[in-house]
Amino acid sequence: MGEHIIKLPDVGEGVAEAELVEWHVKVGDLVREDTVLAAVMTDKATVEIPSPVDGEILWLGAEIGDTVAIGSPIVRLKVAGEGNVVAGAKSPETAPTPTPGPSPQGGEERASTAKADTKPPMSSSKKASSEKVEPAMATASPSLVGGGAKGGGAATASAGSAPTSGAPRAEGEKPLASPAVRLRAKEAGIDLRQVPGSGPAGRISHEDIEAFLARGPQLARATGLAPKDGVEDIKVVGLRRKIAEKMSLAKSRIPHITYVEEIDVTALEELRATLNKDKRGDRAKLTLLPFLMRAMVKAIADQPNLNAVFNDDAGIIHQHEGIHIGIAAQTPTGLVVPVVKHAEARDLWDCAAEVNRLADAAKSGTATRDELSGSTITITSLGAMGGVATTPVINYPEVAIVGVNKMMVRPVWDGTQFIPRKMMNLSSSFDHRVIDGWDAAVFVQRIKALLETPALIFVD
């Protein structure tokens, strides 16, 4: 038998490190060749790491949320044969631990990291032991409600004395009490199942009722509710950490101006329904987004300064000829922004097909780094959940984002009467450092004109 060290492979595109976001195995597991061991994230693309050999997991070299350098050992396997570990070579357990991700705690995190650097990663037996101990502690005092015991001494004290809150008896166990006591409890609105009994076999007396009432009316009423004091600490890792960093950067560096305009999309919806009804079988179904994308392409032709990214460190605006529209998409793991490249060269149907393809790739987690980067302007839409108005956050370092709100039928005055019309708001944000309010308004009004008279979208 030998040992085989698996190092974090080069995931391509010049990436020097990656964040570990998921382990698919644990110490002691038997794995086959090509079994997925872990998942790492670079920018917003997730890459799975397979095992190149059969073997048994002996050691895991990082914890979820750690940033691991390319080429660092991450897994050690026991394998049949000699393996790839040279005799006398330094064991990976003695190597420094991977760098933890950024933490809002700052100094505390650095201190804990310094301590961790002097110790090897937790062994398999210790990890398994710690994972098993926690549930045991949680069930040691089942009568406690909410936060549970604060330590061993507190748990012992609670077990040895009458409980002061919560259910003092097992679920379904009938409380023992005389008819007079039951009547007293009913008149006071007390659930006897919540009252600790001091008599034989937990029998409840009038004195117990008095003591229960004395502890406070909030506990005396039979509501079936109980206070909870527990706090769950959730480490921000992976895509959620990327989103947090990007949003913090955008809001701290970009002075946003948001412009909201109402648009009558009745004619657009009629045209969309007609086109979908008569479309070829190989064409994607049209939604609002392809029409909006084509309208934005026409509006950007008049105002190319909106199709840009602002390098504020260098003080340079990079104005692009190609229009690469990011489409903010919600996925099971969080918000990602796949990019429709060169929207200026795509017709309505091509835009629809590409949006569908990218949305499927994003939701399944198969979108590539190239498909998730390079946008020059972004659309954000929550569909039916879009609300009346929103204040979209610009996708830094872009200078504009167009937000689609939900469509509603509203009464609109046509000069002689109110008529029902399909109305929708656009909520768009702009970087006020480089885009003036007037330019923002002109841009949105141009989009409004095109969507309200959709035939203009097709006129060159």
DSSP 8-state class, residue 152: H
Average pLDDT (191-195) is: 86
Given the structure tokens 């050992």, which residue do they identify? Answer: 73
pLDDT of residue 353: 96
* CA–CA dist 314, 374 (Å, integer): 19
Q: Would you list the DSSP string of 215-229?
A: T-HHHHS--S-----
CA distances, 208 to each of 147, 187, 200, 213 (Å): 25, 15, 13, 9
Average pLDDT for the chain: 82
Whether the predicted pLDDT of 61 surpasses 50: yes
Nearest to 398 by CA among 329, 330, 305: 305
Helix (H, G, I), strand (E, B) or coil at 393: coil
Contacts of 277-280 spanning 24+ positions with Cβ under 8 A: 279/349
Contact 444, 428 (CB under 8 A): yes
Q: Which of 24, 320, 342, 432 is catalytic?
A: 432
Contact 260, 427 (CB under 8 A): yes
Going through 265-399 in order, the beta strands assigned E by DSSP cover 308-311, 316-319, 325-331, 334-336, 339-340, 377-381
Confidence category of residue 81, pLDDT binned at 50, 70, 90: confident
Q: Would you list the DSSP string of 70-95?
A: TT-EEEEEEESS-BSPPTTPPPGGGS
* CA–CA dist 69, 389 (Å, integer): 43
Contact 292, 268 (CB under 8 A): no
Coarse DSSP helix, strand, coil percentages of the chain, rounded to the nearest 5 percent: 35, 25, 40
Tell me, yes or no, if 350 is annotated catalytic.
Answer: no
* CA–CA dist 458, 460 (Å, integer): 6
* CA–CA dist 69, 80 (Å, integer): 28
Token reading at 128: 């398994």
Q: Per residue, what are the HEC states of 186-200? A: HHHCCCHHHCCCCCH
Least confident of 27-31, 352-356, 364-368: 364-368
Token reading at 301: 């032709």
Tell me, yes or no, if 436 is annotated catalytic.
Answer: yes
Given the structure tokens 């750690």, which residue do they identify? Answer: 66
**Cis? peptide before 338, omega within 30° of 0:** no
Confidence category of residue 85, pLDDT binned at 50, 70, 90: confident
* CA–CA dist 382, 405 (Å, integer): 7
Least confident of 13-27, 211-225, 302-316: 211-225
Q: Which of 313, 436, 439, 460 is catalytic?
A: 436
List pLDDT tens digits, range 400-453.
999 999 999 999 999 999 999 999 999 999 999 999 999 999 999 999 999 999
Q: Which tops the pLDDT comparison, 211 or 262?
A: 262
